[in-house]
Structure 1
Amino acid sequence: MNTHSWTINSFSDVTEDALYSEVFKVSKVKWKLKLYPKGLNSGKGTHLSIFLAVHDAAFFLDGWKVYAKFKLRLKSEGTESDMVKEADGWFYNSVLDWGFSSFMLLSQLNDSENGFLLNDNLKVEVEISVIGTLKYFI
């Protein structure tokens, strides 16, 4: 299984517009997660935004392309009602990330009954199930 977990401690203290996970490798590709605590684009101010991104794309050969099918998940502690969204797409020079500007309403995230911020820790997970690469394309 190609799963990576990321825990953000003291989530309510975060002041940055964007957070980045540590880099992790699946197949021959290095990835990272990007999270916007107060949203991005259409989700700004109302939603949590999460994206899967290729890391160090500048070092790839010209014409590179990577296909990934993946699930982004926010873990709910105690309720077993994780929030999961699936996506797939090609990553390349002008599309370095895929994900969701409107992953979850901030009101839903902050509702203690939902269990997403147990002890003020947010647990994010990505599962990459399919990867295809093209070094060159016509």
Structure 2
Amino acid sequence: MNMMEVTGTSSRKVAPAHYILKIDTFSPVVSSIDKYESRVFEASGYKWKLLFYPKKTNEGIPNISLNLGISENDNTLPPGWEINAMVNGELHRFHAINSVCEYLHPYDDFTDPTSGYLKDDCCVFGVEVFVVKNQAKGETLSMKTEADILNTHTWKIEKFSELTDDCCYSKVFSNGGYEWKLELNPKGMLEWKGKCVSLFLEVHNPQNLSPGWEKYVRYKLRIRDQVSDNHRERAALNHKFCAAEQSWGWRDFLPLADLNNPNKGYLVKNTLIVEGEIIAFSEVKDFPQ
């Protein structure tokens, strides 16, 4: 049986509340008993017992050893059980592999008449046990990958040269429990306006999502080469979408000179084909689940 080991003492004026082991004839006990097991007692909903070793040698030094352990007769414990308990003011974790907590005190100090532990060859041991209920909250993070998701959304933009808005959007599509859309700026934006096509992946209706929402996404954006399959595609992005960053991509995705070059194959019959490919996304669940 493995055990946790604690060396030291503490003092108090109030007797322990849960169990007391009193030894009236300490000297004969030391010479006659190597180990004493108390009766089983109940504290904080579990069955316990005290294990007393009157003179236990540890690294060549004799000690008084008092152990608190879960009773083997406690049939209420489920497989894989674990108990966190405050024992005389200190937190200990009990489980099937490590079911005993040991307190050591030097034997010579314990039996010293000036220490106060022994009086008229009598001593008293006690224990208080308060189980700490596990109320921890947490989360479990996993990533869904290509094998788990429908990952590519294709957006065909016809009559591209007739677009007049600075910004246009694809139809909304669902992936990873969120709704998304592609955002395209035909003439670019900000410092790239008049120079490049800008392209982004954007969360649709983020105001409808729960406070503090966030989604980690790995994705690619591309404009298809409809002639030779030499598509314009940037390296995959890893981005955390959240209230502060609802849209992410490239302002300089494709130079307008390349877009309008018929040899590049991006514009065919005044049609542009844009794709958003979601490679992986995060999934967070409450823990434990």
- Aligned counterpart for 1:41 among listed residues 180, 190, 194: 190
| 1:104 correspondence with 2:271 | no
Per the alignment, residue 271 of structure 2 pairs with 121
Q: Is the 8 A contact 1:65 1:133 kept in 2?
A: no
- Cα deviation code 1:92-124 (max 9, x no counterpart): 011001100000100000000000001010000
Q: What is the alpha-carbon distance in structure 1 between the residues aligned to residue 263 and residue 172 of structure 2?
A: 32
Per the alignment, residue 28 of structure 1 pairs with 177
Residue 135 and residue 95 in structure 1: after superposition, are their counterparts in 2 closer, same or farther (change >3 A)?
A: farther
Structure 1 length as normaliser, TM-score? 0.94
Per the alignment, residue 58 of structure 1 pairs with 207
Deviation at 1:22, TM superposition (A): 0.4
Q: Is the 8 A contact 1:65 1:135 kept in 2?
A: no
Q: What do you get for the CA RMSD once the two structures are aligned?
A: 1.4
Per the alignment, residue 68 of structure 1 pairs with 217
Amino acid at match of 1:32: K
* 2:269 partner SS: helix
Look at both structures and tell me which one has the larger radius of gyration over its CA atoms: 2
Q: What is the alpha-carbon distance in structure 1 between the residues aligned to residue 186 and residue 282 of structure 2?
A: 30
Deviation at 1:14, TM superposition (A): 0.7
| 1:87 correspondence with 2:227 | no
* 1:120 partner SS: coil
Q: What percent identity do the matched residue pairs reach?
A: 35
- Cα deviation code 1:8-55 (max 9, x no counterpart): 001011111000000000121100000000001232110000000001
Deviation at 1:135, TM superposition (A): 8.0
Q: What is the alpha-carbon distance in structure 1 between the residues aligned to residue 218 and residue 255 of structure 2?
A: 24
Q: What is the alpha-carbon distance in structure 1 between the residues aligned to residue 248 and residue 283 of structure 2?
A: 16
Q: Is the 8 A contact 1:52 1:98 kept in 2?
A: yes
Tell me the matched-pair count. 136
Residue 96 and residue 135 in structure 1: after superposition, are their counterparts in 2 closer, same or farther (change >3 A)?
A: farther
| 1:8 correspondence with 2:8 | no
Q: Is the 8 A contact 1:9 1:122 kept in 2?
A: yes
Amino acid at match of 1:70: Y
Unaligned runs of 5+ in 1: none
* 1:42 partner SS: helix
Q: Is the 8 A contact 1:64 1:135 kept in 2?
A: no
* 1:89 partner SS: strand
- Cα deviation code 1:45-101 (max 9, x no counterpart): 100000000011101111110111101010111121100012120010110011000
